[in-house]
Structure 1
């Protein structure tokens, strides 16, 4: 069973792969950042558990189906495995914004699914990495430490909410997932 303070939960679109305002609807449109794949593998090799929590309302909207999503995640898992890492669990919300589910971020349902799937008692001290405010809000009630990356919608998020850059916000901001991994592994080596 992983320890919460050794768990990194990642949003998918914009953090691991290129995001699209038109949705990532097929394997052809699923374009992982090579530096993100490498970052996940480096974290795993250093003893971190990595999971993914992703809103996929394109399923509810009829743009793609569960099988297509599974194909994208199998491909992503294979890339990470080839690089020497492992994604411990994928949690996704297939619902639309008005479906009244408990899993669509900013609600913490996906993180609860990850906690259960990994057999953890809580997520206190885990890291939640995203490119939007709702990613960070999902982690808050679970005790996750928030990280915002500038890739994907990250720059847009910071432009809309400049207060997130304040030291008082408690949010760590990095250019991309690789930058966060570099920092986290440096912290680990320092202790």
Structure 2
């Protein structure tokens, strides 16, 4: 029996795209320098690329869950148009201070720093956590990785492909 495939879990805002403050419209979709190249590099090395993103803008009433899903689909298409394949997107619209009570939860298991999105992806995509890691830009991303039992690495800006090359020792 195989142990599953390796994966890289990528935060969305601040890692794949510029964090413009609750991005949700096409004009907000500005790729981080090196993002398509990094995803292409990781895929070529056999990693599944999985986006895990907190999206409290839904809970805060800034945009709908449908708008969030459409924006995530736009991101996947934009990356794909550059030869960069994202295998799955997990997004958590829940927040303790939600305006919309459907999204109010004091500590949702999917909301980073909780590991729910990562653990679900591991299960649903037959991912081997021992060969996987996360790239995020916030302490909550790294804590979610730790709680999921995988290494987490903090991207502090610049070129994502350069960061990935350094991380992988290439």
TM-score (norm 2): 0.84
Give per-residue Cα distances to partners, 1:87-106, cap 9 Å, x unaligned: 11111100113522111000
- Aligned pairs, how many? 161
Give per-residue Cα distances to partners, 1:50-89, cap 9 Å, x unaligned: 1010000000111111221122222211122222231111
How far residue 34 of structure 1 moved from its aligned partner, in angstroms, is: 4.1
How far residue 138 of structure 1 moved from its aligned partner, in angstroms, is: 0.2
Query: Which consecutive unaligned segments of at least 5 residues does structure 1 have?
Result: 152-174
Q: Which residue number in structure 2 is paired with residue 155 of structure 1?
A: none
RCO greater where, 1 or 2, for CA within 8 Å and sep 6 or more? 2
Q: Which residue number in structure 2 is paired with residue 32 of structure 1?
A: 31
- Answer yes or no: is the 8 Å Cα contact 2:14–2:32 preserved in 1: no
- Answer yes or no: is the 8 Å Cα contact 2:33–2:160 preserved in 1: no
Q: Which residue number in structure 2 is paired with residue 112 of structure 1?
A: 119
- Answer yes or no: is the 8 Å Cα contact 1:89–1:117 preserved in 2: no
Q: Which residue number in structure 2 is paired with residue 142 of structure 1?
A: 148
Query: Which consecutive unaligned segments of at least 5 residues does structure 2 have?
Result: 98-104
Q: What is the RMSD computed on CA atoms of the aligned residues?
A: 2.0
Give yes or no for the alignment of 1:180 onto 2:163.
Answer: yes
Structure 2: distance between partners of 1:64 and 1:34:
26
